[in-house]
Amino acid sequence: MEAFFVSTAIVAIAEIGDKTQLLALLLAAKFRRPVPIILGIFVATIANHAAAAAVGALVAQWVGPDVMRWVLGGSFIAMGLWMLVPDSVDDEDDAPARSHFGVFGATVVAFFLLEMGDKTQVATIALAARYLDLVVVAAGTTLGMMLANVPAVLLGEVAARKLPLKLVHSVAAAIFIVLGLITLADILPSL
């Protein structure tokens, strides 16, 4: 259960103010149809994070435990530092236009592509390598994405204006850095 709860919490916090959350806000404002948007986010996240978790599990098998500890510790610390750099959507052309895919299809495609190489995808890879349980990690990170993005879809711009994003990013950065230090110190298994 630790892998599930840690994965959920890390991604939920990391996702606040992330570019995919901004995309959720844009989609909600553009289409005004929350159910297909939420379902599209869910499908895209499951596909993306399942693949990321599989990559993490493979990486963990290919390298030894000592190398893995250093890679993971460094990755978590790098993620923490990356969290201090806020995301933004570069321009409105990134939002999907109305197409033959419909709201659901446009959301799936846009979310899947925008999530490629994103912090939460990288975190999913690292978490799967750390916990070696790709199903539980992917389920946790997917829940974390939904916890962060469903309110964005339902509440729209009001939530985006009210959240202290700098504080949220700082807390998420601290969590990643602490996880990195714990991994490097290798004290978690002894707790």
pLDDT in tens, 95-129: 444 455 688 988 898 888 878 777 788 888 888 88
| pTM of this structure | 0.66
Q: Are 34 and 153 in contact (CB under 8 A)?
A: yes
Query: Of 10-14, 25-29, 61-65, 93-97, where does mean pLDDT reach its minimum?
Result: 93-97
Half-sphere exposure of 70 (CA within 13 A, CB side): 4
Residue of 177 and 12 predicted with greater confidence: 12
Residues 35, 36, 41, 43: is their CA dihedral positive or negative?
A: positive
| pLDDT for the residue numbered 41 | 94
| pLDDT for the residue numbered 93 | 42
d(CA 42, CA 145): 8
3-state secondary structure of 64: coil
d(CA 52, CA 91): 27
Q: Are 64 and 71 in contact (CB under 8 A)?
A: no
What tens digit of pLDDT does each residue of 48-87 get?
989 888 887 787 777 766 666 676 677 767 767 766 776 5
3-state secondary structure of 163: coil
Name the pLDDT band for 36 (thresholds 50, 70, 90): very high
| pLDDT for the residue numbered 160 | 53
**Runs of H (alpha helix) within 116-133:** 119-131
